[in-house]
Amino acid sequence: MKILHRAKRTETQRTGVTGVARAERDNDRLSHKLKSGNIAVLDHIDLDRRHAEMLIERGVRAVINVSPSTSGRYPNLGPQMLAHAGISIVDHVGPGIYGKFKSGDKLRLENGKVFRNDVLIATGTELTDARIDDLLRSAESGLSTQLESLSVNAAEHLRREQKMLLEGAGIPTFRTNVRNRPVLVVSKAYEYEADLRGLHDYIADYNPVLIGAGTGADALLELGHVPDLVVGALDNISDRGLKESGEVVITSASGRVTSVERLEKAGADALTLVGSGSDEDLALMLADSGDASVIVLAGGHTSLVEFLDRGPTDMASTFLARLKVGTKLVDAKAVHEFYNHRISAWPIIVLVVAGVVAVAVAVAATPVGQSWFDAIPDLTSDITTWIKGLFS
């Protein structure tokens, strides 16, 4: 009797996506752990565009989300961006996965299942393009609910931060002079690279005060601009941002700053801004408190979906911060559009030269003009003789 042995599946025979897992319950801290080819394990209900861009920039191969990447409250943009970037998503696997692997373990994803050493450790939903489109269409009905909750959250935020919003309490006196000067606040939320490239000539001509909102300082440094100020929570500011920015303002809702050893190591003499809200919102408030003439925002939130994508708490903060700044605030894309359509000096110079040449040709066609042109060789000879006499 012949005994048949089932062959063991080799690595090349396995299907799905394989990579080293990196896990962090704090989504903002996760970026520091990720490397190209990793599988990111996170807990992020309604995955927003900012975190999706971070995952794409880090070059992750796949994402495992403990929570629903789209809950149906509103049509968030994160899952669609990941799918378009070719990043696999296994969604809503549940918090139990954290006890079944360690950060640094190799995981494999296949058809919504998560394996460690070929042992199934979690099951979720694989988000394909079609599935994401269906979720987004269903989520559009949740917009009205989100807008209704905005008023409640805005009222709570105003109650908590009314002294800062109305009186400027908690905003420090900083050295950088922004009074009656244009200010450029850079956030690293949405399309910041395109915004900054579009503002290249504007920055060169107007020399605005450059403020990096948290990681926005790195965005400026990457394109060769040195931030005059960096504003944000200490965990959101890189060591390079601390060292190379002209001035550092650390934001804190409680007024306490942890990890001060990073400041000491970077040699940064930081101020503290007491207030809740995102780095972007507090940077706008800081610029406004310094009486900036205009505030241009690059890489910030502009559309309704991007606004809702922030979540209820940050959404209220953004809403009130922009009401406070008012008409001073201008989006970078608008500046780029108008600035690039201004009349350049070169067309005017060319037009003037062409006019002078046309007049010269017209004059040369007249008897008087002909006599003038006939006299040019004699005049040139006289000038040459005079110049030579000066040096003889």
Statement to judge: residues 164 and 310 lie in one domain? yes
Neighbour-count burial for 168-183, b at 16+ CB within 10 Å, e otherwise: eebbeebebebeebbb
Check pLDDT > 60 for residue 6: no
Check pLDDT > 80 for residue 92: yes
Statement to judge: residues 155 and 281 lie in one domain? yes
Check pLDDT > 70 for residue 223: yes
Of 93, 127, 161, the domain-final residue: 127
Check pLDDT > 80 for residue 192: yes
Statement to judge: residues 175 and 302 lie in one domain? yes
Q: Which helix (H) or strand (E) holds 249?
A: strand 248-252
Task: Tell me the per-residue pLDDT of 354-364, one tens digit each, with 9 for 90 and over.
Answer: 666 666 666 56
Cross-strand partners of 213? 231
Task: Tell me the per-residue pLDDT of 27-86, one tens digit each, with 9 for 90 and over.
Answer: 767 877 899 999 999 999 888 887 898 899 899 999 999 999 988 777 788 899 999 999
Neighbour-count burial for 330-363, b at 16+ CB within 10 Å, e otherwise: eebbebbeeeeeeeeeeeeeeeeeeeeeeeeeee
What mean pLDDT, rounded, does the chain reach? Answer: 81
Considering its fold, how many domains does the chain have in total?
Answer: 3
Higher pLDDT, 258 or 71: 71
Strands (E), 43-150: 62-65, 88-91, 106-110, 113-116, 119-123, 125-126
Statement to judge: residues 109 and 174 lie in one domain? no
Residue 8 inside a domain? The answer is no
Statement to judge: residues 329 and 233 lie in one domain? yes
Task: Tell me the per-residue pLDDT of 292-349, one tens digit each, with 9 for 90 and over.
Answer: 999 999 988 666 666 666 665 677 777 777 878 888 888 888 888 777 655 555 565 6
Q: Model pTM greater than 0.85?
A: no
148: exposed, middle or buried (C-beta count within 10 Å: 0-12, 13-18, 19+)?
exposed
Check pLDDT > 80 for residue 379: no
Residue 27 inside a domain? The answer is yes
Confidence at residue 7, expressed as pLDDT on a 0 to 100 scale: 40
Residue 9 inside a domain? The answer is no
Confidence at residue 18, expressed as pLDDT on a 0 to 100 scale: 95
* All residues at 6 or more sequence positions from 77 whose CB lies less than 8 Å from its CB, including other chains: 48, 49, 52, 305, 306, 309
Distance CA 5, CA 7 (A): 6
CA atoms within 13 A on the CB side of 71: 16
113-117, 132-136, 275-279, 310-314: range with lowest mean pLDDT: 310-314
Residue 199 inside a domain? The answer is yes
Statement to judge: residues 349 and 336 lie in one domain? no
Statement to judge: residues 223 and 268 lie in one domain? yes
What is the β-pairing status of strands 248-252 and 229-232?
parallel
Statement to judge: residues 188 and 72 lie in one domain? no
Of 100, 127, 154, the domain-final residue: 127
Statement to judge: residues 100 and 171 lie in one domain? no
Statement to judge: residues 118 and 264 lie in one domain? no
Statement to judge: residues 87 and 230 lie in one domain? no
Residue 80 inside a domain? The answer is yes
Of 127, 160, 181, the domain-final residue: 127
CATH number of the domain to which 91 belongs? 3.20.19.10
Per DSSP, the three-state class of 242 is helix
Higher pLDDT, 27 or 289: 289
Residue 138 inside a domain? The answer is no
Residue 101 inside a domain? The answer is yes
Residue 304 inside a domain? The answer is yes
Answer yes or no: are the C-beta atoms of 212 and 186 closer than 8 Å: yes
Distance CA 213, CA 217 (A): 6
Backbone angles phi, psi at 18, to 5 degrees: -120, 140
Statement to judge: residues 150 and 256 lie in one domain? yes
Region for residue 112 given its phi and psi (left: phi exceeds 0; alpha: psi -120 to 50; beta: otherwise): left
Closest CA to 310 of 48, 52, 75: 48
Domain housing 40: 17-127
